Each structure stands twice: as C-alpha cells, then as structure tokens.
Amino acid sequence: MSPAKVAHGQNPLRDPRDKRLPRIAGPCGLVLFGVTGDLARKKILPAIYDLANRGLLPPGFSLVGFARRDWADEDFAKIVLESVRAHARTPFREAVWRNLAEGFRFVPGTFDDPKSFDLLRETVHNLDQDRGTGGNHAFYLSIPPAFFPTVCEQLDRSGLSHASERDWRRVVVEKPFGHDLVSARELNAIVQAVFPPDSVFRIDHYLGKETVQNLLALRFANQMFEPVWNANYVDHVQITMAEDIGIAGRAGYYDGIGAARDVIQNHLLQLLALTAMEEPVSFQAQDLRAEKEKALSAVRLPRDLAKSTARGQYAQGWQGGEHVIGYLDEDGINKSSTTETYAALKVEIDTRRWAGVPFYLRTGKRLGKRVTEIAVVFKRAPHLPFDQTATEELGQNAIVIRIQPDEGITMRFGSKVPGTAMEVRDVTMDFGYGRSFTESSPEAYERLILDVLLGDPPLFPRHREVELSWQILDPVEALWARQGRPDPYPAGGWGPVSSDDLMRRDGRTWRKP
C-alpha cells in the first residue's frame, strides 16, 4: 500500500464530496490599524472573536493592534474584551477567549513614525517565530484614507509589505475608496504601489451579507424568476437604503462627503450590479467581477440630470417618538453646509435585457425607518379580463429582496378578496428564512475577514468597479455642487418633496418600504 500523494493543491484529506469540512485558513495573523475606531470596536474585533468561537481561525492566529496609545498588550486585550462582550454574536467562552488573547500584541505609535513601524516589523517577526504565523499577514487599514499614503509608505519602507514566495501579505481597505474618480485613482495608485492588485481586498460589507449572496441564488438557481427578469416584464427597479439615525458623531467624516458618496457609490451600485448583471460563467472571482463590471459600464445617466436626481438635508422633526435636531444643528457641522443627507438618482442600463427600465436608487439618513431592499416592480398584466371595479385596488406585482433588518424575500401579487363579489387586491407573501436565520447567521464581517485570510476574492470589488461607480456618480456630484443648498426634509419622513417629484414625472411612486 503506497501512501496517498501530497502536493501543493493536492491534499488527500480534502475531498470535493466532503462538504462538511470547514474552510480554515493556513497559519496567519492580522495587523489592525485604527483599533480605537468605531468600526473596529463594533464589527471587526467581535467578528474575529466569533470566528475563533466557531473554530474557523487557524491555530496560532495572532492579532496586532496599532494605535497612538500608551498601551501594553494587556491593555489592548482589555479593549478587545470590552468590544467582544458588547458586540459579539456568539456566546462568550472563557477558554476560547484566553486562547485567542494569547495572540494579542500591541504596538504603540503614530503613522509617520518610522520607529513604530520598525517595532511593528519586529513584533510581526516575533509572532512568526513564537506562534507560527508563518509570515502570512493581513494589514487591515481601518483608518481614514488620508492616512493611506503614510501607512503604505511605512509598510513598504519597513519591509512589512514584502512577501516572499512562500508567504503572503494582504491589505484590507474600507470605503470610501476616494471621493471622485481622480482621487480614487490616486488612492489606488498609492495602495497598488505597495501591494499587487490581487492582494488588495476592498471591503463592501454589503457583499458579505447572506441576503445579498442569496440574490445570486434566487436569480441563478431558479427557473421561475430569470425568465421575467428583463425589460419585457419589469417596469422598474427601486433600490433603497434608508437609515433612521442621523450622522451621530461622524460629522468630521460625513460633512463634505454626503449620502451619495457614502452609500450610492459603493453599496447601492453594487446591489444594482448584482441585480442587473447577466449570469456569470461561474462564481469564481474573475467571472463574477466581469459580469458586474459589464453591468456597471452599461449604466447611463439620463440627459437631464436636474430632473432625474434629488437631494435633501434633514431638518429637525419627530422620529420614532423622539424629537431630533436637524443636520445643520448637529455638533461639528458648518451652519451653511451643503452636504446632502438624502440622495436619489435615476439611471438606465443600456443592455438588451434592461432597455427602457429605469433603476431608481435612494438613500438617506433620518428617514422613516432603517431598511435596505431591492424592489423589482413588474408591469401590469397587458389585459385584465375583470370588471374595471374588480381590479381597482390591484397594484403592480413585485419581488422585493429585503436585505436588512428583516432579511428575506417578499412577493406581491393580486388575490381575490374572500367574499361573494369578484374583487382583486394586493397581497404580500413573505419568505422569512432570514427572520429565524439572523440569530445564527454569520455577520458580514466574519465572512469577509475569513475570505481575506483564505485569499478568496469573489466578494470584494475590484478597482475597476470602483472606477466605474465614480464615473456614474461624478457628473451628478458636479451638478449638485453648482446647485447650492439641498432641499430640507423633516426627520422621520421619506425624504424631500423633490424626490417624490422625480418619481411623479415618470408616473411612478416610491415604494413604502
């Protein structure tokens, strides 16, 4: 009996039929910049613990924190513990925590201090020696993009970013990827001067969500939706991301950026791409990205931008039983700020599948409730063999993919009202896998961090997609920059009147999500 062959990419213990085997990354560590930030505390650190708790982190996994704090490793561990206790999804287990915390290191320093990066290099090197991280490290830049050049330069100078043939270095960046096409290109040039394109992971956390991935299953695993998923049957598509909160302490980041750059450029255009794209040849990264890029490159803005866009700024009002202040009264906001907190936009997609079908995108803060959804609204039946009175209450059929918070799918169709008369009205049917799923379904960040450690790129947008998105948004931003102040809208409503006018001009209305 000769033993089974083992080679690179050939592992006798991995059998494609063995679908249980979890994906566990090889030895590696994560270096986190911006440990004290909101995102790190609420999302990244809890996600790392949850991954450990699920047994998906490699043995010896290590986490290095870098920040301008005079901390020892233990102080850092305390901060992580606080955020894990407050935000982790899975139950707290002492043994898991202790084991994970053994791999925590902290490097105090500033981004422009070469000495701190030398210390970081030494720390990372020691981890390779002591804990066996094997020279594989991901650098998570959870910091404002203004610091990217300095950090990347330091990573390069100190040699931290240089991978050998046997190990890997990856970099993880968060939105915003620039604030227009030019700055996005600059930012990309900076990062790619240090890391090769395959090693850059841009996180759009929407793509890590179960429901967004489920959109692909809904469209491409079923026979009953794809035949009607085109201009023959679809009247229009509405993609909404509404938040009920204000800018809540993010004034410094938000003012001057605005809703469109913050949300439409990345999340909504990614959702649009997934909704509109053709079937990818496979779900490999390059095939999926190719289809998304095709869809994005076919997006066309209407000629009269003033009439097909709307923007607003929340004023004071009552929201959810609470009186809230307007945007201009928020701490740290210039009283004459023209930053929009609501943005709506109509685009068309120049493909055979979508010719003549408008896609309406809207996002805003301080709206009626927190909800993200994609609504595909169908045309009316070409002929209704009923009395006119029988179908008065019948609207248009719709398939709604609810992305958060109540994850699932809703279908709206006409049904006879029980009774002796023939009356048809709209009913909705809910598919609520998500409703029960939320408790145990992994957070988007868990999936994405795991994918980074595994080097599995399909869920991360490529630079080309970022560029295409800015190409779509830049003319709109240019127009808005000339327009002066956005239209005020009361907090707790559904945006400015101008956004309703935008729909009314097309003979449509916004869905009430």
Partner 1 sequence: MIVDLPSTTMAAVSKKLVKLRNDVGAMTLGRVLTLVIVVDETEADDAIEAANDASHQHPCRIIALVRGGTRAPNRLDAQIRVGGDAGASEVIILRLYGALAEHGNGVVVPLLLPDSPVVAWWPKEAPPDISESAIGAMAQRRITDAAEARSPRAEMKRRADTYQPGDTDLAWTRLTLWRGLLAAALDQPPYEPVVAATVTGASDSPSTDLMAGWLAQALKCPVTRARTRAGTGMVSVRLERRSGSIDLARPGGAVATLAQPGQPIRRISLGRRALAECLAEEVRRLDPDETYAETLTKGLAKVGASGSVKAPGSVAHQAAAGKLGGTKMAAPSGARQGKSSS
Catalytic site residues?
267
The binder of partner 1 chosen from 378, 386, 413, 431 (CB under 8 A): 431
**Measured from the CB atom, is 12 or 159 closer to partner 1?**
12
Q: What angle do CA 473, 479, 484 make, to 5 degrees?
A: 125
DSSP strands (E only) in 220-341? 234-242, 299-300, 309-315, 317-319, 322-324
Which positions from 126 through 155 interact with partner 1, judged by CB under 8 A? 126, 129-132, 134
Contact map string, positions 270 to 309, toward partner 1, x by CB under 8 A: ----------------------------------------
- DSSP alpha helix (H) spans, 233-361: 251-254, 258-259, 269-276, 285-297, 305-308
Q: Does 336 bind partner 1 (CB under 8 A)?
A: no
Residue 7 touches partner 1, criterion: CB under 8 A: yes
User: Which span sits near partner 1 by CB under 8 A: 123-131, 139-147, 375-383, 445-453?
Assistant: 123-131
Shortest Å, Cβ 178 to partner 1: 36
Site track for partner 1 across 160-179, x = CB under 8 A: ------x-------------
Is 481 a binding residue for partner 1 by CB under 8 A? The answer is: no
Report the alpha-carbon distance of residue 219 to residue 229 in Å, rounded. Answer: 8
- Residue 259's φ and ψ, nearest 5 degrees, are -65, -40
Return the range that interacts with partner 1 (CB under 8 A); candidates 138-146, 147-155, 353-361, 437-445.
437-445
> Least distance (Å) from partner 1 to the CB of residue 216?
17
Q: Does 322 bind partner 1 (CB under 8 A)?
A: no
CB hemisphere CA count around 119 (13 angstroms): 15
The first and second tokens of residue 88, run together, are: 């982790």
User: Cβ closer to partner 1: 306 or 427?
Assistant: 427
6 makes contact with partner 1 (CB under 8 A): yes
Least distance in Å: CB of 85 to partner 1? Answer: 17
Residue 322 to residues 312, 319, 366, 489, 490, Cα–Cα distance (Å): 21, 5, 12, 16, 13
Residue 207 DSSP code: G
**Helix (H/G/I), strand (E/B), else coil: 295:** helix
- Virtual CA dihedral for 43, 45, 49, 55, nearest 10 degrees? 80
- Interface with partner 1 includes 93 (CB under 8 A)? yes
Q: Taking CB under 8 A as the rule, does residue 59 contact partner 1?
A: yes
Q: Give min distance, CB of 102 to partner 1, in A.
A: 4
Q: Are 346 and 505 in contact (CB under 8 A)?
A: no
Starting at the earlier edge strand, list the strands of the sheet with 137-141: 104-108, 62-67, 29-33, 137-141, 169-174, 200-203
Q: Are 197 and 463 in contact (CB under 8 A)?
A: yes
99 near partner 1, judged by CB under 8 A: yes
Interface with partner 1 by CB under 8 A: which residues? 1-8, 10-15, 17-27, 52-53, 55, 57-60, 73-74, 77, 93, 95-96, 98-104, 126, 129-132, 134, 166, 408, 429-433, 435-437, 439-441
